[in-house]
Chains A and B, each alone.
Chain A
Amino acid sequence: MSLSHSAIRPSIRRRLWADRWIYLFLLPTVVLVASYTIWPMFASIWFSLLDWNGFERAGRFIAFGNYAEIFADRLFWNAFANTVIFVVVAVPIRVGLALLLAVVLNAGLPFSRSFRTAIFLPVVTTAAILGVVMRFVLDPASGPVNEVLLQLHLITQPINFLGRAGLSLYTAIGVWVWKWLGITLIYWMAALQTIPADLYDAARIDGAGRWQRFRYITVPLLTPFTIIITLITVVEATNVFDLMLTLTNGGPFFSSEVIDIFVYRQAFAANIPRLGYASAAALLFGVCVMAVIAAQIVVVARLRRRVAEQ
């Protein structure tokens, strides 16, 4: 004889009532997430199927017309390429440099707390304001960076860091790495704290040098953290709108136009906005990012399985 399901578990209504306080406290979060994340996401999918200038109350349904146009748009692919360059160049520099600094600062050097604070300071500064300030700092006519380089005789003519097509994107990457280095440093320092000191002591007794301890203890034990930190940094590197808008606005001549700025330009900054087209571009890029992240998860899972099998 078996008991019926309803006899084992109370009804949904009863369970809801029993946990009413939990649901009540969850409600604000659910409403906010639904309003500001879920709804815009679904609205973007619908908008991407419209020819809509934003001046009218509603757009004209054109099915996949925007997507067809995007595939042929050189400036979309230019922005796509700039975003990929941004991620490929900026992420390893930020993650690697932060790890290096974390190891050095973790070694108990004098003034390490002061250095840590100094490196973290730009993190708490608003990115948009930082972009404006860095335009003055990098100004070729009166900016302090060019002044110092000229005084040190490292250059003979001021460098237009943000005004040259070949330099603007890499300058922006430099500013972005500098701004967010501190937060990655904190991640690494927290990760380093998880490695038991006994392991280093044992290795030291066995005659392992500093490099060997780093290579055979620190690196393997940090591997899970590396995956997470890299993933977080990749996602952050694809969301650089505020800094890029104020620093270069995607210019000159689209040389630093990343996808965020491309979408913004199509949706708001053009004389005749194209909200449907901008939504299609954003969605297409979002799908690409999701594909990359999914691939990363699959690779990591396979690596873990292989390690477990060994």
Chain B
Amino acid sequence: MSTRQTGGINRRDALVGLGTLAAAMATASGRSAFAQDAKTIKWWDHFQPIAPLFEKAWANYGAVHPGVTVEHTVMNPADMMQALQLAFRSEQAPDVMSIPAPLATLNQLAGSSWFAPAGSGLHLDKPFQKDVLFEGLTNFGGKVYSFPLFSFRQHSTSLWSLKDKIDTDGNAIKGWDQIRQVAKAATKNGTYGLLLPIQFTDRMRVHVDDLSQMIGGAGPIDWKTGQYNYAADEYVETLQQLLSFQQDGTLHPASSSLDARQGRTRWAAGEAAMFTDGPWNSGVIANSFAQVLPNIAVSGNPVLTDSGHVHSSPQAGTFWISAQSKNPDIASELLNLFTTDEFYIKLAERMDQPPLNLDAVAQANVHQTYKDVVAGYKDSVRLAPEPVIRNADVGKVYGEMKPVSPSLGEIVQGAFAGAFADPKPVLKQLADQMTAERDRAIKAVNDAGGKVSVDDWKFDAWNPAEDFTPDKY
């Protein structure tokens, strides 16, 4: 009797091999049964400068809770909503996520059951933590879903400069005229005066909102009347002032094709003397371009006038537990790690958005520019009213409203691209379209049994120079 051999392996060897493989698979499946205690929490956010702080907190948690690990992904805010949308639809949503989108989107997501309540693992005991929990912002149906990690007292439009590229004190630059002069003087030898992240239309929207309020504007909505305010003189003036840098030849010519991250990189590389960004710029520079840190200066409120204030709405929740999460209790406990006094101080030290407890900044070891910017917010930023706090059905209107194009950010981009000569009628059109869309959404919500009116956006007690505290609703 003979055994046929193929390629050096006989039938007996093949059977032995298969047997071994089956045994190995059985062992492996046995192991996986033992490994069922291991839990991985998928966490997506867009807070690059704070990532090491989060990861350290999770590592400490993991040491006490063996088997729990966090798979952290830091995303570009410009791409994040798209990634989340695809992830949700394919049932691969992260357990915890940040939502870098307006309140309207947040309400849409909440209405579409994206989120799970925070649960019993989260303890918000301190008064300043309880004071920032609002229906439609952090709570839905009376349950706490999230909480703000950061203070409302901030804006995104400080003027950051490189000391060696300008001939004046970058911390003291004030007013459009001076900024233009500094930009003109700095434009030489391949360096331009100013770089704006024009491709990132959402960021440009925020810049124009902030700057127009610094010179005395009411912001996107005039809370006295409840009307959209884009056609106001302050918006037109702000846009014209920004365009003047292009006319002067001091605007970095690649601005139109750069988002905030790309723009920051090229500014830090010395291609431009000045760059507009939020307080987190200190943190990003410290972490990614440490050699540039000693060379930066900042004018926190670059065009602030005596009558100007930036109006910041109460903050929505920062992190949200996914309704698809298999481990909401662990996610809840992980969120709770970010509520301690010690954490707020460490958060300030990462130099991202200022922490909910602003007093922590004074106790933190931070760069002077960060201290200056945050201190400047006390002069410039005031708490704005939020209609959804007065009437929860406003959240349904936010959810019903469809995006209006061109948006403010797209109009800014168009103005720089030479798509139209006079921005005023385009801004007026935006205000009219927003009003019409809100009216349509209000009608749709009321038709479905809601109770909302345009008057919900009108706040007689609003004083632009003061915080609109809960007692004024």
Seen from chain A, the residues whose Cβ lies within 8 Å of a Cβ on chain B are: 53-57, 75, 135, 139-142, 157-158, 160, 162-166, 168, 248-249, 251-255, 268-274
Contact = CB atoms under 8 A, between A and B. Distances in A.
Nearest to B253: A140
Contacts of B111: 56
Given A249-B199, A271-B101, A55 B406 contact: no
Given A54-B89, A268-B85, A163 B406 contact: no
A163 to B, nearest CB: 3
Given A54-B85, A268-B82, A164 B417 contact: yes
Given A55-B85, A56-B112, A274-B402, A141 B254 contact: yes
B141 interface: no
Interface of B: 81-82, 85-86, 88-89, 101-102, 104-105, 108-109, 111-114, 190, 192, 198-199, 202, 249, 252-257, 271, 401-403, 405-406, 410-411, 413-414, 416-419
A272 B105 contact: yes
Contacts of A163: 198, 253-257, 416-417
Given A158-B253, A271-B102, A273-B85, A255 B417 contact: yes
Given A164-B418, A252-B419, 6 more contacts: A55-B114, A140-B253, A163-B254, A251-B256, A253-B406, A271-B101
A269 B199 contact: no
A54 B86 CA distance: 9
A55 B254 contact: no
B257 A253 contact: no
B252 A253 contact: no
Contacts of A135: 257
A252 B414 contact: yes
B402 A141 contact: no
Contacts of A252: 198, 256, 413-414, 416-417, 419
A253 B81 CA distance: 21
22 contacts: A55-B85, A75-B406, A140-B253, A140-B254, A141-B192, A142-B190, A142-B271, A162-B256, A163-B253, A163-B254, A163-B255, A163-B417, A252-B414, A253-B417, A253-B419, A254-B410, A254-B414, A255-B417, A255-B419, A271-B81, A271-B403, A272-B401
Contacts of A157: 249
A165 B114 contact: no
A139 B257 CA distance: 9
Contacts of B249: 157
A17 to B, nearest CB: 32
Contact of A251 (B85, B199, B401): B199
Closest A-B pairs by Cβ, 8 of them? A253-B414, A163-B256, A252-B417, A140-B253, A55-B112, A253-B419, A165-B417, A165-B419
Interface centre among B85, B112, B190 (most CB of A within 10 A): B85
A21 B401 CA distance: 56
Contacts of A158: 253
B90 to A, nearest CB: 12
Contacts of A55: 85, 88, 108-109, 112, 114
Nearest to B266: A141
A141 B405 contact: no
A269 B77 CA distance: 12
A270 B111 CA distance: 18
A53 B112 contact: yes
Nearest to A139: B254
Contacts of B85: 54-55, 268, 273
A160 B417 CA distance: 9
Contacts of A56: 111-113
A139 B256 CA distance: 10
A269 B101 CA distance: 11
A274 B404 CA distance: 12
A140 B271 CA distance: 12
A273 B108 CA distance: 10
A253 B413 contact: yes
A142 B419 CA distance: 24
A166 B88 CA distance: 39
B419 A141 contact: no
A147 to B, nearest CB: 11
Contacts of B105: 271-272
Contacts of B410: 253-254
A272 B256 contact: no
Contacts of B81: 271
A166 B418 contact: yes
A273 B84 CA distance: 12
Nearest to B82: A268
B108 A53 contact: yes
Nearest to B105: A271
Contacts of B192: 141
Nearest to A74: B405
Contact of B417 (A53, A75, A251): A251
Nearest to B84: A55
A253 B406 CA distance: 8
A272 B252 CA distance: 31
Contacts of B254: 139-142, 160, 163
A164 B253 CA distance: 10
Contacts of B113: 56
A141 B257 contact: no
A75 B190 CA distance: 37
Interface centre among B88, B111, B252, B253 (most CB of A within 10 A): B253
Contacts of B102: 271
A272 B104 contact: yes
A272 to B, nearest CB: 6
Contacts of A274: 402-403
B277 to A, nearest CB: 19
A124 B420 CA distance: 39
A274 B405 CA distance: 13
A165 to B, nearest CB: 4
B99 to A, nearest CB: 10
Nearest to A138: B257
Contacts of A254: 406, 410, 414, 419
B375 to A, nearest CB: 32
Contacts of A168: 417
Interface centre among A157, A166, A253 (most CB of B within 10 A): A253
A253 B85 CA distance: 25
B256 A160 contact: yes
Contacts of B89: 54
Nearest to B418: A165
A141 B414 CA distance: 20
Contacts of A53: 108, 112
Contacts of A57: 112
Contacts of B411: 253
A254 B201 CA distance: 12
A54 B89 CA distance: 8
Nearest to B86: A268
A192 B113 CA distance: 62
A269 B252 CA distance: 26
Nearest to B109: A55
A53 B110 CA distance: 13
Interface centre among A55, A249, A255 (most CB of B within 10 A): A55
